[in-house]
Structure 1
Amino acid sequence: MNLLAIGYVWPEPASSAAGYRMLALLDCFRRHHWNVTVTSPAEKSIHRADLPARGIREQSIALNCSSFDSFVREAQPDVVLFDRFMMEEQFGWRVEKHCPLALRILDTEDLSCLRHARHAAAKLSGEVTTDVAPERLFSDHAKREVAAILRSDLTLMISRAEIELLTSTFKVDPSLLHYTPFMLEPVDTEQQTQLPQRDQRNHFIAIGNFRHAPNWDAVLWLQQAIWPLIRRQLPEAELHIYGAYPPPKATAIDTPRQGFRIKGWAESASEVMKQARVNLAPLRFGAGLKGKLVDALACGTPSVTTSIGAEGMNDEHCTWPGPIADTPEAFADAAAELYQDPELWLQCQQQGFRLHNRHFAFESHADALTARVATLRQTLSQHRLNNFTGAMLRHHTMKSTQYMAQWIEAKNRHKND
């Protein structure tokens, strides 16, 4: 079987949670002996994963260029995986035209229209924002993203909370969605005992790609409102902030005298996480699941986060293993208590291991996904007949996208003549 993945960017597992989630999806199909090819119109970063070393082929592609048509026509993939809805918009019509029998899967990473709506609401309120008004949620961004979901045969959703939003608010048929959170190897008892103990750990940590708006907002909220309250209770404490692509405005707020340290890029996020006593994730807006919190679970590092951070991170059998606080005062108090209380710290750590191993087990999610794909390939004709709305959207909206792409290509060709 052949899988073609069309990436918004090349996977960077050390830079973002989206990067290692995409890599896990690719590994899922490789473990089931699929041939996997990854393509992207993005430039290749030095931080990208070594895909050929994992038995995955790489191929650069161009936007608005018919060269992709001949490429995909020759490749004839059985399944095409679009990394975020913009790639489905760009290449979906070309895949349908040249490989009509290929199963088309969209991976949203997170529901970006929800993240954007919450961002706009948080800018106005300055508070943690989970619920947003329908007039803000039903944006042009949402129309594009939900349309891509409806045009696809299947969409992979990282959060059950987002599945609920799509089915209840946007009325998306559940048969078009599949729950696929982070897929990770379990942390066994031996690995747990080899981690640094509480008394061997120092300082607070915060981590996240600085290019991701919720992460930068969290850094600013820490600096301006939360960290001064923590330092008042713990005068010797330090907060070490790590993340890929730190801009000058981030390094400018590094203040050693206040224990507020901008560390920037970490060669290994897990190594710095293992050395920290408490992880801080004061997210005021966002969507999906938070990789920094999942990493902390695996490293045995208890976290303090907001209701945004904890969203989708538990189920009916296993609750979120740490304090949840949505105001600077409550967040600082929870952080100081968790840092100082050995019993509470150990309780949160052990509950975190249970949540990690139960909620994000690679094998169970990989098996469920490949089984779903196999079933859909056998029933694809009926599945598409059941999705008349998707067929209607492909008929209308993809025509406009097709003609725009062809116009841009013709314009570029004329410019180069």
Structure 2
Amino acid sequence: MTQPVTKVLVIGYVWPEPRSSAASGHVMQILETFLQQGWDITFSSPAGPGEHKADLSALGIREVSIELNNSSFDVFISELAPDIVLFDQFMMEEQFGWRVEKHCPEALRVLETSDLQSLRHARHQRLKDRLKANSDQDDFSELFAPALREEFELMADTDLAKREIAALYRCDLNLMISEVEIDLLVEQFGLPRQLLHWCPLMIDLPGAPPAAFTDRAHFVSIGNFRHAPNWDAVLWMKSIVWPLIRQQLPQAQLHIYGAYTPPKATALHNAAQGFHVMNWAEDALQVMSAARVCLAPLRFGAGIKGKLVDAMLCGTPSVTTPIGAEGMHAGQPWPGAVALSATELANQAVRLYQDETQWQASQLAANTLLGERYQRAVHGQALIEKLRDCQLNLPTLRANNFIGSMLRHHAHKSTQYMAQWIEAKNRNTSPT
């Protein structure tokens, strides 16, 4: 007997732009994994299309625009009757979770987190506090290696953490990109480990050998300028890190690429200093493959970093901080260098740029790391198996998650009434 095709509804905070952000790239990897199973996929979002939106329809994925606080979604999801609903970012679970539960109670509810936003925001605040308290712009080692308990204490009283972690509890399964974040949630926040599934960036190993040391030039940095950690890294490079590199390599150039380049970023461009703000890269892998060293001096952030996986794919050694490398190499040698200060970042970057032997060793480390931790075939299969297991055992899974049931009861009622009030208000104030 032919098995019915699994129907998946994805509710996205934005439409995917895989060439603009790693988060969108991860969503596309998940969608491609579903397509390989022959699943029927509908992607919906209340957002407008961005400048670099992926053409999902060309892949056979149905695209549907939806509205916030509008009962038209109830009709839409009732007619679609999905087997799995994937919320892309916890805000979408807040907005639509109660409607999904009401109209498709048997659908498996999955949250794709990309990173823990509450962790990223808490770390950003810690950086701001550090900059106010200490004018030293070189050594940030105290920010880079906190114990999980310190991270918990930093997050626990924030509204964002309470909202985000409540959404994790309300879902049947949560896709986590970082093992560090899984440990934080389980060991400090007390989430059941069975609610969390490790799903890192999923890539196919490169077939052709990467460009050689002598065929490359310049430093490169890539990142969406709308993402606060990337913008902070650009500012730190401009003011501190890059001048230290130029002291040792007076002719060096840094090429910075990023989607949605704001005027404040363009204003930093200075060819005389070798600091080139290049706007958006049409092909990030091509740009990365031409560079000799990738710079990613991140002072805060969460999740794992797509730009650093891209660097590995291109055989480009990277120089980053413990924040950049977090959750990415599990104790394996880093394919480049990890540094705690601007001085060390600059020294390591210069060393890799000049030392072909060390550069080649870093390139080999990248190949090893990709093969051990990021293969699409491995993680794609594990994701499908986990989803099927959750579907088969859904009643037991939900019975064992009383906290999630309790949170859905209270939070969804309040969200439902607020949404209905907003819809009624909009109806009464709309022109006739």
Query: Into which bin does the TM-score normalised by the smaller protein fall?
Result: over 0.9
Write the letter of the residue equivalent to 2:373.
H
Distance 2:397 2:50 in 1: 38
Q: Could you say which residue in structure 1 is the equivalent of 2:99? A: 94
> Which of 173, 178, 193 in structure 2 is aligned with 1:154?
173
Judge which range, 97-106 or 44-53, deviates more.
Answer: 44-53
Task: Say whether residues 1:298 and 2:316 are aligned partners.
Answer: no
Instruction: State the 1:320 CA deviation.
Output: 2.1
Q: Could you say which residue in structure 1 is the equivalent of 2:155? A: 137
Q: Could you say which residue in structure 2 is the equivalent of 1:57? A: 62
Distance 1:209 1:46 in 2: 13
Secondary structure of the residue aligned to 2:221 is strand
Write the letter of the residue equivalent to 1:91.
F
Write the letter of the residue equivalent to 2:173.
L
Distance 1:134 1:347 in 2: 37
> Which of 203, 207, 216 in structure 2 is aligned with 1:184?
203
Contact 2:152 2:189 in 1 (8 A): no
List gaps (5 residues or longer) in structure 1.
Answer: none
Write the letter of the residue equivalent to 2:242.
W
Judge which range, 85-94 or 401-410, deviates more.
Answer: 401-410
Instruction: State the 1:357 CA deviation.
Output: 2.2
Secondary structure of the residue aligned to 2:20 is coil
Q: Could you say which residue in structure 2 is the equivalent of 1:359? A: 373
> Which of 3, 9, 18 in structure 2 is aligned with 1:4?
9
Task: Say whether residues 1:204 and 2:223 are aligned partners.
Answer: no
Q: Could you say which residue in structure 2 is the equivalent of 1:237? A: 252
Instruction: State the 1:136 CA deviation.
Output: 2.8
Distance 2:191 2:233 in 1: 32
Q: Could you say which residue in structure 2 is the equivalent of 1:402? A: 416
Secondary structure of the residue aligned to 1:209 is coil
Distance 1:319 1:65 in 2: 51
Q: Could you say which residue in structure 1 is the equivalent of 2:187? A: 168
Instruction: State the 1:54 CA deviation.
Output: 0.9
Distance 2:49 2:43 in 1: 12
> Which of 265, 272, 275 in structure 2 is aligned with 1:260?
275
> Which of 343, 347, 370 in structure 2 is aligned with 1:329?
343
Write the letter of the residue equivalent to 2:335.
P
Task: Say whether residues 1:412 and 2:430 are aligned partners.
Answer: no
Contact 2:119 2:151 in 1 (8 A): no
Q: Could you say which residue in structure 1 is the equivalent of 2:88? A: 83
> Which of 287, 301, 306 in structure 2 is aligned with 1:272?
287
Contact 2:152 2:184 in 1 (8 A): no
Distance 1:171 1:223 in 2: 41
Moved over 6 A (4+): none
CA shift digits 1:240-283 (9 cap, x unpaired): 00000010000001010000010011101001100000000000
Instruction: State the 1:315 CA deviation.
Output: 2.4
Distance 1:321 1:253 in 2: 29
Instruction: State the 1:322 CA deviation.
Output: 1.9
Task: Say whether residues 1:341 and 2:384 are aligned partners.
Answer: no
Q: Could you say which residue in structure 2 is the equivalent of 1:39? A: 44
Distance 2:408 2:338 in 1: 42
Judge which range, 253-262 or 354-363, deviates more.
Answer: 354-363
**Identity level (%):** 54
CA shift digits 1:127-151 (9 cap, x unpaired): 3624355443111100000000000
Distance 2:418 2:313 in 1: 46
> Which of 119, 128, 135 in structure 2 is aligned with 1:114?
119
Distance 2:121 2:188 in 1: 16
RMSD: 1.0
CA shift digits 1:318-345 (9 cap, x unpaired): 3322211121111110100010000000
Instruction: State the 1:46 CA deviation.
Output: 3.2
Q: 1:370 to 1:134 in 2, by over 3 A?
A: closer
Task: Say whether residues 1:372 and 2:386 are aligned partners.
Answer: yes
Secondary structure of the residue aligned to 1:45 is coil
Distance 2:20 2:51 in 1: 11
Secondary structure of the residue aligned to 2:337 is coil
Instruction: State the 1:52 CA deviation.
Output: 1.1
Distance 1:63 1:346 in 2: 51
Secondary structure of the residue aligned to 2:336 is coil
Q: 1:133 to 1:154 in 2, by over 3 A?
A: closer
Distance 1:308 1:341 in 2: 25
CA shift digits 1:347-372 (9 cap, x unpaired): 00111011112211001101101011
List gaps (5 residues or longer) in structure 2.
Answer: 1-5, 132-139
Write the letter of the residue equivalent to 1:136.
L
Task: Say whether residues 1:308 and 2:349 are aligned partners.
Answer: no
Secondary structure of the residue aligned to 2:200 is coil
CA shift digits 1:288-309 (9 cap, x unpaired): 0000000000001000000000
Secondary structure of the residue aligned to 2:44 is strand
Distance 2:205 2:214 in 1: 24
Distance 1:164 1:14 in 2: 30
